[in-house]
A = this chain, B = another copy of it.
Amino acid sequence: MASAQSLSFNLGKETMQLKSKYKHFSGTTEYYQHDSQVNHAPMNFAVFLPEQIKRKQLPVLYWLSGLTCTEENFMIKAGAQRVAAELGIVIVTMDTSPRNLGIEGEDDSYDFGSGAGFYVNATEQKWSRHYNMYDYVTKELPEIIEAHFNVNNNKSIFGHSMGGHGALMIALKNPGYYQSVSAFSPIVAPSQCLWGQKALGGYLGDDKALWQAYDSCELLKNAEERLPILIDQGTDDEFLQQYLMPEKLQQVCEQYNHPLNLRMQEGYDHSYYFIATFVADHIRYHAEYLNVET
């Protein structure tokens, strides 16, 4: 796999359009649109820039959202900026797919197509030109962030549900690239649940060997790096038994001696009320790996 640094998009500032900007905890939450070269479509992302960025380079924490979400949900609902402002961490969120492409069926369901990119590079002809969210998150977007904002090379990644899958999978596939990884209610074994089977089948076709390259439970078996994993999972999550199945990850982690801190949170569900409750824990966890000076 090409490293993010080897792939240059040469994006000038003129290709990025600032859509809105809000002062927030002394820093700013900003929304951008740009023409994605890997997705061949406009993409939206958001960034929280702590006030400290005026004086020094800051590390970046990437958030990957779940099904249907845009770059906005986490920024307005999680309450993450309070802690990121305190610790001096840039937060980046992105839309969960390109949208309004005119691909037949792209808006037919909440769990495939628009809002459901699943963080893979599609190989099926219908989707392969525009649905390359893996390259977008791991290569194009970091390059944009590093080109346009005063950040250092330290980066970590976390996410929720489909985005929890994305964060774990991406960290496992890119040893050394992220300082730390965590997830809320992640889909840990997409090959083994209906959401994942629909998405991986749709974007990658029927060859399940291709699916395994995006399945955290499979990737863990050959992980080059023992990057510790932090997961929070609500016990009252309606998707727990059929879709999320963290016990499958736990089993592989035990078998392969991979460090996992799986916290089952009593009574919490799948919502942003749950994420908001524990997001500060996650940001402080990542701060330890991001060499934040406090």
Contact = CB atoms under 8 A, between A and B. Distances in A.
Report how many copies the assembly holds. 2
B236 A277 contact: no
A29 B273 contact: yes
A75 B199 CA distance: 33
Q: Is the interface of A mostly helix, strand, loop or mixed?
A: mixed
Interface string A248-287: 0000000000000000000111011110110010000000
Interface residues of A, number: 23
Nearest to A269: B22
Most buried by B among A79, A269, A272: A79
B79 A277 contact: no
B276 A23 contact: no
Contacts of A24: 273-274, 276-277
Contacts of A273: 22-24, 29
A269 B236 contact: no
B25 A76 contact: no
Given A23-B236, A236-B23, A267-B23, A76 B274 contact: no
Nearest to A29: B273
A126 interface: no
Given A76-B77, A76-B272, A25 B277 contact: yes
A82 interface: yes
Nearest to A85: B277
Interface string A229-251: 00000101000000000000000
Nearest to A24: B273
Contacts of A268: 23
A274 B82 contact: no
A79 B84 CA distance: 14
Contacts of A23: 234, 236, 267-269, 273-274, 277
Interface string A65-104: 0000000000011010110000000000000000000000
Contact of A79 (B82, B234, B236): B82
Nearest to A20: B271
Given A23-B234, A23-B268, A81-B276, 15 more contacts: A22-B269, A22-B273, A23-B236, A23-B274, A23-B277, A24-B274, A24-B276, A25-B276, A25-B277, A76-B76, A76-B77, A76-B272, A77-B77, A79-B79, A82-B280
16 contacts: A22-B271, A22-B273, A23-B234, A23-B267, A23-B274, A23-B277, A24-B273, A24-B274, A25-B276, A25-B277, A29-B273, A76-B76, A76-B77, A79-B276, A82-B276, A82-B280
Q: List the 9 shortest-distance A-B pairs measured between CB atoms, nearest first.
A: A79-B79, A22-B273, A24-B273, A23-B267, A23-B268, A25-B277, A76-B77, A22-B271, A29-B273
